[in-house]
Structure formats: structure tokens, C-alpha cells
Amino acid sequence: MKYRFLIVFYLLCIQSAATFAQTYSILIKGGTVIDPKNNLNQIMDVGIYEGKIKKIAKDINPSEARQVVDAKGMYVTPGLIDIHGHVFFGTEPNHYLSNGLVAVPPDGFTFRVGVTTIVDAGGAGWESFSEFKNNVIFNSKTRVLSFLNIVGEGMRGGNYEQDTSDMDPNLAAAVAIKNRNDIVGFKVAHFIGNDWKPVDNAVKAGTLANMPVMIDFGGSTPPLPLEDLFMKHLRKGDIFTHAYTLLEGNVRETIVDEATQKVKPFVLEARKKGIVFDVGYGGASFNYSQAIPAVKAGFYPETISTDLHTGSMNGSMKDMLSIMSKFYAMGMDLPAVIKASTWTPAKVIKRENLGHISENAIADVAVFSMRKGNFGFYDKTGYKMEGKEKLECEMTIMGGKIVYDLNGIAKPIYLK
């Protein structure tokens, strides 16, 4: 009896010592780490502990980790940052993207594609932001941020988004300053008219709060000139979304001349000035006739984003990985695609604590495989590109916790 007790005690001591020796909660082994901030594109191990990146090294002993993720043959990247989504979902009819039925709950559409941070692009204005914060931001596992609409009511559609009297830069800036942890800038969207007031009021709010502005340029007949928007109204760091769109009816000017297939000279000057060109794919805001010649000319998007909502995700957009795969198929190399989906958007929204895999950084990590096969990537016009490779999310880690594991590549698997 005495010897049996000693044996049990000895085994417990060994187990306790092994547990004590585990210096990582998660160890990702053997994957190709692509981290644009740190110029990494090589096979490395990544150790995570207490929600942070603890170590990046060539070979970390797996016995030191509670869980080991076999990422051999896969890509390990920072968690993706989608800076143009619509997640102010609700149950109010006729509220469009502001507490309405067209926006989507973030957690259902983020982790499964490697997104750990999504920015709602203008769903809430200064009048409705508290509802968005209480209902969505506080109740999402995904990190949800906001571009505050310059319209107080937000994106309720119709006449609400045309009401210039509800575009108060002082009230918008005050709400943004009070909620700096959640609001990263301001949004102009869907205004139809020959008037610069929405843009100028948003820029004024951005100046007051020291935040960027995202512009969905709406439309007018004839179109307001993009050169004036870029060179006379916007500042360095402001964002032009839906960069590769061609709308019917000649209501918005394009960045590529459709006749010559050349990027317009003033667009190149705007990039030099510091205007940020964002994809903002959406349901009707991406055309290959704009994107292919732009990419061939080296005019890549600084930020890749979805404009996620029920219409776009069930159309040609699908999700972040579909868009990233399209730009990869068009000729962007994979590190450039990852940079436009991680580190650059983090800088654009002034959240440099995100978007990279550095020691002591927040452990937001995505693990992707590159599927081989025959894939069709089409746009809203039905134009289709063929591709042989497509990104697929194998795992998403948010704040040091596995929140999505497609094929059970973590060992052991813990369901809680």
C-alpha cells in the first residue's frame, strides 16, 4: 500500500512538472509564416501564451506546448482585418444597414475565413452608435470597430442618407472622440447629388477627431470629378473605397480609363499624396474591367475588404478569402495580398497593435491552406477568370484562443 502511494505520488509529480514545463498554450509548427510588417516569409514556429505571441523561431520543442497545431504545408499569417463590412444587424424593417436585416452578425462570417477584426463601414451614425455598441460590439467575439457615418441616422437608406442637415461634423466628432476605442474614422456613403457637403463635413469631423474618412462616392449626373475629390477635398490617409467599380449610367467616374485601359494620371498622383485605395468589393462595386488593367499596371489595392452584407456574400463577392484569391489570380503575389489584408489596414485605421506576428503582439493568427483545383472567379457582369489555386482557412486564433478549426489540426482538441 505504501509503495502504491509512492508510485501514484511520483506519477503526479511527473505530470505536474510536465505541465509546469509547458511554456506555450498553443504552438503552431512547420507553417510558412507570412508577416509583412516584419518581412517574414519562411517556415517558422509560432508560440502563443496568455493571449500574446511569445516566440517566433525555426524550431520550438512541441513538448513545451499545451496544444500543437500541425501547419506543415500551410501559411500562417496575422488575423485578417476587413475594414469595410456591414455588421450593424438587427430586426428593424426598412433600416437597411443600420440595425436592419441586410447587415449580418459578425461572428457568423469572420472566423471561418480568418478575419479577427472587422470595421463596420457607416452603419451607425452619431445618433445610433450607442445602440450599435451595446448590441453588436459588446456582444461579439470578433473585434468590431466602426467608421461612424456622417449621417446621424447611419445607413438607413433612402432619404436618410440624402439629408445634409443630419450631417453634423461637430456631433459626429464628439461621439468619435468619446468612443476612441471603438471608432476609427468616418464614412460618407450613397449620397446622390452634385454637392460636396457630405465629403467636406466628414473631413471636418475627421480633422476634429484626428481620424481618417472613408468615401463611398455615391453618384451624380454628371459625375463629380474624382480628381477634385482626391486633390481638393481629401487628406493624406483618407480612404477611397469601391476603387475598382464601374457603375451603370455614368454616375461615378472610374480610376481606369475604359477606352485606353490605363490608370488615370491624377489617380497615380492621388496615391502619391497618400489617398488609400480600398477594394470594398460589395454587391455591385467590383469590375474586372477596372481591376485587371490596374493590377497589370502595378496599381494594387492598399486594402482588401468585402463590403460584407447579405447581398454581396451571396453574389460574386463571397468573403475575404475569395477576394484575396481573385487578386492572387490577377497577379498580386501572396505576401502583397496578405499585407493588404493585415498590416496595411491596421495602419490605415491607426491600430498598429494589430495585423502582425511580433513577440508580445496580440495573438490574432490565421492559418491557411492553398487548395489546388479548377476554380472560377467571376464578377457582377458575369466575366470569369479561371484559377488553379484558392485560399482556404484552416484555423483562426483570436486573442490566443482557437475560435475556428476546420479539420481538427490542433492536438489535442479542446472543445471549450
Give the three cell numbers for residue 188. 460618407
Contact 79, 366 (CB under 8 A): yes
For 43-84, what is each residue's pLDDT tens digit? 999 999 999 999 999 999 999 999 999 999 999 999 999 999
Angle between helices 320-330 and 288-296 (to 10 degrees): 50
Rg over CA atoms, the chain = 23
CATH for the stretch 80-353: 3.20.20.140
Q: Is the pTM of this model over 0.85?
A: yes
- What is the chain's percent helix, strand, coil content, to nearest 5? 30, 30, 40
Question: What does the DSSP 8-state code read for residue 158?
Answer: G
Please give the Cα distance from 4 to 6 (Å, whole number): 5
| Residue 275 φ/ψ, nearest 5 degrees | -70, 135
pLDDT averaged over every residue in the chain: 94
Give the whole-number percent of the chain exceeding pLDDT 70: 95
Residue ranges for the binding site for Zn(2+)?
84, 86, 187, 242, 307
Single-letter code of the amino acid located at 376: G
- What is the longest distance spanned by two Cα atoms in the chain? 94
Residue ranges for the binding site?
84, 86, 187, 242, 307
Tell me the CA distances in angstroms from 83 to 334, 335, 350, one per residue in order: 19, 19, 12
For 114-168, what is each residue's pLDDT tens digit? 999 999 999 999 999 999 999 999 999 999 999 999 999 999 999 999 999 999 9
Please compute the mean of the pLDDT values over residues 9-35 and round it to a whole number: 72
Query: Domain extents for the chain?
Result: 25-77+362-371+389-411, 80-353
Q: Is 25-77+362-371+389-411 assigned to CATH 3.40.50.10420?
A: no
84 by DSSP, 3-state: which?
strand
For 124-136, what is each residue's pLDDT tens digit? 999 999 999 999 9
